Structure formats: C-alpha cells, structure tokens
A and B are shown apart, each in its own frame.
Chain A
C-alpha cells in the first residue's frame, strides 16, 4: 500500500534562512506528488505539484525517484510562510486516483 512520511512534525527557521520540508513516499508504481498548505484559519489548498515543475511563492520541490523523496525547499523563508504543510501522493485506484496525505509539518518562520 502507498504511504507518505513527513519525519518532522515541527520545524522552525529564522526569516531569510533556507528551509527544507522533508517528504518520503512508498509506492511501487509511477507516483504523482503534491504539496498542500494550510495557513492559520484558512482551508487546505494546493501549493504545487511535481508534474508542473513550477515555483510557487518561492517554493520548489523535485521528485527524486531513486530516494523516493519529494522535499519542499525555499532559499529564503518569510514570516508569511508559517503554516502547516502536507505532502500528498496520488495513486491509481480502480477507475480513479486516490490522494494519500502525510501527517504534516508545522513550519514556523521566526522574525
């Protein structure tokens, strides 16, 4: 069965420092990976997906199939990046795809 692991429940960095949120997955097929974010008092929303290889709000994530990882990175963290971040894996399930979430990492960017 598929599994997503986010080893850090809490992560604190200072403003302007680089940040990396770790995500590892286990899945025998071809994975599709996503990062979702939940800011304080807001709903869960998509941040970025590996297929598009885009940078959103300065964040990037590269899929490393050899290490089965999809770490989220930003070179210079900002206070507004403080939020809960979830890594998610989409796998084929019958006629549809099922999205499995990790347990999340709470990022705090200190002034």
Chain B
C-alpha cells in the first residue's frame, strides 16, 4: 500500500514570497489533515478535510494560509505572503474517517523562509 505522498520535500524562499505544498493521501482515505511542526514542537493541526469539505480550520492563519482539496483526493496548502515564523515542516496526514486517532503521515515538506 502506497503511503501519503508530499512534495516538495524542501523549499527555501524569501519572506513575502509565496509557496505551495501538495499532498496525495492514501487511496480510500476520506479525511486529510495538514499539520505545521515548528522545530522543537509537536505537530499543530492547521486544517482538516472530510472528502472535499473543511471540518476544522480554526487554527489556520487565514490571512496568509489557504488550503483546498478538490475532488476529495489531493490537497494543496498555500502560504502567501510567507513570514519568517512560517519556517517549519508541513505534514500531511490521512485517515479512513474523521473520528479516528490513527493518522498516516507523509514525510513532510520542510520550508525555510529567509
């Protein structure tokens, strides 16, 4: 079974530039999550999708972050404009449904904002 795929693995940008991350979940997983993990901290949930609808985006900084999951499969997370404090690993995860604590994570996309 293929795991959660993410790209790019690494990205370096300057502040005020934009960046986009892509995620392909495990086939058949209806729920998709984006987490932000700042160095030295645990993952923090940014947004949770159930199929192509948003279930929870209460911790997403909506002035600069956006995410979509068209057709209920792949997802894209965008940051525009980026700030220095956005430097982090962005983790995508998926699960069979919204009421499980068993998440399957991708390898993450490491963003450095200079």
The interface of chain A, by Cβ under 8 A from chain B, is 4, 6, 9, 32, 34, 43-46, 49, 86, 88, 90, 93-104
Contact = CB atoms under 8 A, between A and B. Distances in A.
Contacts, number: 63
B48 to A, nearest CB: 6
A4 B105 CA distance: 20
Interface of B: 3-4, 31, 33, 40-45, 48, 50, 55-56, 91, 93, 98-108
Given A44-B91, A94-B55, A94-B56, A100 B45 contact: yes
Given A45-B105, A88-B101, A98 B43 contact: no
A98 B48 contact: yes
A97 B94 CA distance: 13
